Structure 1
């Protein structure tokens, strides 16, 4: 009994309650130093929705202080659960984040109306490339290869999709070409990192610089002079799922999307199921955790790593299509704007789990969408403050809110047989 109590004391971590207390204090300071009055309206339906929900109007002062009290209660509950069980449950963290976002929205949009459906739809749209990138990172690191080149794979996919779709007038061919482009970048990463044992982080950084340089050169020298032929991609049409697209709030957000978004739903489900329920996933995780042990039971470590890195590259290339044919936008220099690096943060936030990484990417997307929405409704909150939100979330993670994050044991370590 004494040994069990000692083990529980050793694994107990107070980082999450401390982080929650810090953010509750910051929230309290914000609403105390910059009080807002009036009311905030949340619009739950669009004019096109067959089912119209009424608007919800809340008093700002009462709402923000009630939220403050709830944050304090949740922080105290987190401390109590750590004292008794040794950890803070995920549901409590999720509730804390949702309640804090609600309070912040009520405060920031005082006197204005927030289009909830538009805000959430924007969050999903901005999160799609992050989710594809996060899946790429999860597969790579789970199999033992740190993929810093996600940014380059997204950019290569965006460039190739724009050119091929412009030439053929077929977004489907552009999508396929983008996946091939992502695989080519991943092939270079795998060849140098797995076969020639070059430091994986260095290879990834070099590939990012290389892809940025190549796409920028071709954009300036080839695409711009021939924009009508090479850089006017068609876009995928939106597909409304019958019945599901008519559900209030959820329908317009998730079920009035393009094929790229629906493929993302499938990719998340397949990667999660494959990684946790199939022989492929077992071999992948074994190679990333203990390649020597995997080798002794007959798993070919380096080929397994090689082919899974190529698979991850195809997923990243598919994610790159969001920037061009996903929205019918012409390619531009460095248009991915660091999405690959935010995707890497989502991988760590999600603790190398496909579902959690997807939720993390959605949170990052929501932060970006929130900045856009508050700018449109004329909120006095500086847009620069909103740009900080994804990085504040990253600090949230580093502070230990999601618990101890340990990546695959062999990630980044080359394997030499024998």
Structure 2
């Protein structure tokens, strides 16, 4: 008897598991669009009121004439366009289409323009200074960029750095102290300012070294250590400010770094003053972001750092010194944050004052998360928060109906909304905050 071969039925491909629809972005954009239409569209003064925008400054290579726009029609058009893009985002989610980051960015830009039109409506004596607004954006983003880069260097290695605030404050203090001492000794404020800029990273590196001591050697909870270091730096700087600087005013002088305009480029309208007429700290920011972006993703050093932050045991098996890598990168991150701390004193021409960083370290931490632990992402996020801060200053100059207390909240509100609505689902380095015990 011959056995009849029975063919097994072909295996059916498993049905693709579709990701659940996420309506968070359309809801956020829709809420922003509708609220902006109500408050900054319909409530913008009409009756022929106009808003004046000024782009050029005196001394530019050529002049772009100032222009007026009819306030209410333009504000309504901008907010309706933002609401339409929010509807497009909802359509994309419904049909599983992705539009990329350009869509929320465009909505944000349209709403900001509508807010500017509303703020300047009918104010014939004042105008919206676009160049000044952008200069403020870049300058106010400087400590946030350095702070977020410091956090990225630490967390990519597996160390949570909550101590960015303390590192910025320590850098600001030492920059002012050394800068004032050198300026008094040499009689040159410029020499003192550069000396303070060189000294600032040392203070940040010292705070970073303290963080690694407790996090790597003693395996203390890194979040707790970071918070304690912030409080410690506040106490130490307040103590030395009261006992040393107040009794010796020459050690806390208002000295500033000189601007270094790049010939010809600094005369280009709008972009020239914003990008090419800055001091050496701002130019250093451009260089450090570019170098770290290349080194992190295109060098062996960056590969090892990312391996230590993602899978330290696997990194150890191929000969990478996990804890040594963490210590070095955390101290380097502290030095970068300390360098950014010099912004508050010698780079801004201000004397040191108690707790003058004002929570910028925590905003830098949010910028790092929003930037998804990458240098260029951190730069973009820091510019977003710097713009919110610059917008607050612009509103104060123009004079708006918004209470001053709300204006002071604006950078922090932007931080909360950005992290809550724009980050989405991001994954930090897998071994972040976990001590490596060989």
Q: Which has the larger radius of gyration?
A: 2
Q: Distance between the aligned counterparts of 1:215 and 1:97, measured in 2?
A: 39
In structure 2, the partner of 1:96 is 107
Q: 2:254, 2:350 within 8 Å by CA — same for their partners in 1?
A: yes
Which residue in 1 is equivalent to 2:8? none
Shift of residue 399, structure 1, vs aligned partner? 3.6
1:349 and 2:366 are equivalent in the alignment: no
| Bigger shift: residues 26-35 or 342-351 | 26-35
Q: CA deviation at 1:254?
A: 1.2
Paired with 1:315 and 1:395, the residues of 2 have a C-alpha distance of 25
The answer to whether residue 257 in structure 2 is matched with residue 243 in structure 1 is no
Deviation, structure 1 residue 5:
4.2
1:392-407 to 2 correspondence within 5 Å?
392-407=413-428
With the length of structure 1 as denominator, give the TM-score of the two structures. Answer: 0.95
Paired residue for 1:10, among 16, 19, 25? 19
Paired position in structure 1 for 2:91: 80
Kindly indicate whether the alpha-carbon contact (under 8 Å) linking 1:350 and 1:357 is maintained by their aligned counterparts in 2.
Answer: yes
Q: SS where residue 256 of structure 1 aligns?
A: coil
- Which position in structure 2 is the counterpart of 1:337? 358
Note the C-alpha offset of 1:3.
Answer: 4.8
Matched with 1:120 is 134
Q: 1:408 aligns to what? A: 429
Structure 1 residues 347-397: Cα deviation after superposition (integer angstroms, max 9, x where no partner) = 111121211111111111111111111111222222222223223323333
Tell me the TM-score normalised to structure 2 length.
Answer: 0.91
C-alpha distance in 2 between matches for 1:3 and 1:275: 38
Gaps of 5+ in 2: 1-11, 184-191
Structure 1: 5+ residue runs without aligned partners? none
The answer on whether the counterparts of 2:143 and 2:360 sit within 8 Å (CA) in structure 1 is yes
Structure 1 residues 195, 334: closer, same or farther in 2, change over 3 A? same
User: Which residue is 1:360 aligned to?
Assistant: 381
Structure 1 match to 2:236: 214
1:20 maps onto 2:8 in alignment: no
Question: 2:273 aligned to 237, 246, 252, which one?
Answer: 252
> Greater CA deviation, 279-288 or 181-190?
279-288
Residue 300 of structure 2 is aligned to residue 286 of structure 1:
no
Say which of 67, 72, 76 aligns to 1:65: 76
What is the correspondence of 1:134-153 to structure 2 with a 5 Å cutoff?
134-153=148-167
Matching residue of 2:52: 41
Q: How many residues align?
A: 414
- Residue equivalent to 1:270: 291
Aligned counterparts, 1:308-327, within 5 A: 308-327=329-348
Deviation at 1:85, TM superposition (A): 4.3
SS, match of residue 168 in structure 1 = helix
